[in-house]
Amino acid sequence: MMCQLFPYAERVTRWLEPEQQRAWRAYVRMQGELNAHLSRQMSVDSDISMADFAVLVQLTDTPDERVRVLELARSLHWEKSRISHHVARMEKRGLVRRESCGSDGRGSFVVLTDLGRSAIEAAAPSHAEMVQKLVFDQITPAEVGALREISEKIFARLTTGECAAVVAGCDADDAVEVVPQEGGCPEA
Amino acid sequence: MMCQLFPYAERVTRWLEPEQQRAWRAYVRMQGELNAHLSRQMSVDSDISMADFAVLVQLTDTPDERVRVLELARSLHWEKSRISHHVARMEKRGLVRRESCGSDGRGSFVVLTDLGRSAIEAAAPSHAEMVQKLVFDQITPAEVGALREISEKIFARLTTGECAAVVAGCDADDAVEVVPQEGGCPEA
DNA sequence: CGGGAATAGTTGACACATCATCCAGGTTCG
DNA sequence: CGAACCTGGATGATGTGTCAACTATTCCCG
């Protein structure tokens, strides 16, 4: 594939070194368990999923609590059809509603409802505490920095060059980073 | 708003510090993109999913290429019903087959087929190279070590105390010492 | 003005994960 | 022996993610 071009002409596979192998396995396992745990916790004690949460965060971060569908897709790095389906499900549950856009006949807004607002307000604190307990209570401040550096470097590689364009329906706009993720809120 | 922190509150939420927040955001984004990228790459150029790959790896790691279903669940940290469904789909595609277990009438084995073996042999090299390029080419040897340490610490917390038992159908019955810890998982 | 092309969004089919439930084969113990 | 219970595993419903069409608007350009 496009990401497969390699400096070596031949098909010499570069297998992972033992050290890398260990790190990779540890990372993969941790990441899987952490995701599972955070998802389960959120759905158990707030009755919304991580995906719902991410969408709701985007909405609450916007002054008038309404965002265009494709704007959501871009800031969440989701495909447009994923957003579309997900919003449909959330609408069914009353967390958001759709409104058509006057200035552009084909567009539509996703709007936060009262139910949606109270859902995220209920979910945020325990989610933040969970992240704190499961992640940041376990590692040193130096490791926090390292985690960020590592993540940023890898992420950068994923969004540059040949690898970037693969995401359909959501161009790597660039300036990126109005990242959805919750976490703490700087005391407003 | 939900982010306001009231000093008098009984349950004071520990929001993330700015540094932690940045690290968390970076991690979440990276992890999401990396997963998506690896999955897409594998299914595009080897026609199997990461989940298939994980199962196949377990099978090839076993001398006679046959493993009990629950054994699979335990080593992959999957729920038993997930394994069951997944194996059913893989069987339909000819990657594995089931065989009943003589010594225990209720058990069954999952057995690697020739098709399954050639699938994983085809998938492994390009997957390894992808991991190399996307991850290890981006970070320093010191960071490889850090990544492993961080992952191990967080993982350890996830499999300890009350957090561990939550996984249904796959009790860490053996080995794993379950040391009760205060602080608990969710605040309940 | 008219006819592509791009854009915004939806839809349907399918793969996947989770949950609750069910079931058959073992185990324990009176 | 047999009833209660435990275990290994399958199944169906439901929610979620992806891909490939598809519709409807708007844009561009002659």
Q: Which residues in chain B are closer than 8 Å to A112, comparing Cβ atoms?
A: none
Q: Which residues in chain A are closer than 8 Å to B166, comparing Cβ atoms?
A: 37, 40
CB neighbours of A77 closer than 8 A, spacing ≥ 6?
Answer: A167, A170, B29, B32, B33
If you average pLDDT over residues A74-101, what whole number do you get?
95
Q: How many other CB atoms sit within 10 Å of the CB of residue A5? A: 9
The pTM score is 0.83
In the predicted structure, residue A6 carries a pLDDT above the cut 60? no
Give the domain ranges of chain B: 20-130, 139-174
**Which of B16, B36, B143 is facing A184, going by the closest CB pair?**
B16
Which of A40, A134, A159 shows the shortest CA–CA distance to B156? A134
pLDDT per residue as tens digits for the range B123-181: 999 999 999 999 999 999 999 999 999 999 999 999 875 555 545 444 443 333 333 33
Q: Which nucleotide is nearest to A71 if distance is taken from CA to C1'? A: C8
Answer whether CATH 1.10.10.10 is correct for domain A29-164.
Answer: yes
Give the range among A49-53, B10-14, B58-62, B63-67 with minimum mean pLDDT. Answer: B10-14
What is the arrangement of strands in the sheet containing A96-100, beginning at the earlier edge strand?
A: A66-68, A108-112, A96-100
pLDDT per residue as tens digits for the range B51-72: 999 999 999 999 999 999 999 9
Q: How many other CB atoms sit within 10 Å of the CB of residue B175? A: 5
In the predicted structure, residue B6 carries a pLDDT above the cut 80? no
In the predicted structure, residue A164 carries a pLDDT above the cut 60? no
Looking at residue A134, the DSSP 8-state letter turns out to be I
Sole residue written with tokens 């209570």: A137
Q: How many other CB atoms sit within 10 Å of the CB of residue A75? A: 21
pLDDT per residue as tens digits for the range A114-147: 999 999 999 999 999 999 999 999 999 999 999 9
Cross-chain Cβ contact B146/A146 below 8 Å: yes
Identify the closest residue of chain B to A156 by CA–CA distance: B30
Whether CB of A85 is under 7 Å from strand D: the answer is yes
Give the domain B20-130 fold: Arc Repressor Mutant, subunit A (1.10.10)
Question: Residues B180, B186, B187, B188: is their CA dihedral positive or negative?
Answer: negative
- Looking at mean pLDDT, say which of A155-169, B29-43, B152-166 comes out highest: B29-43
Strand partners, A97: A111
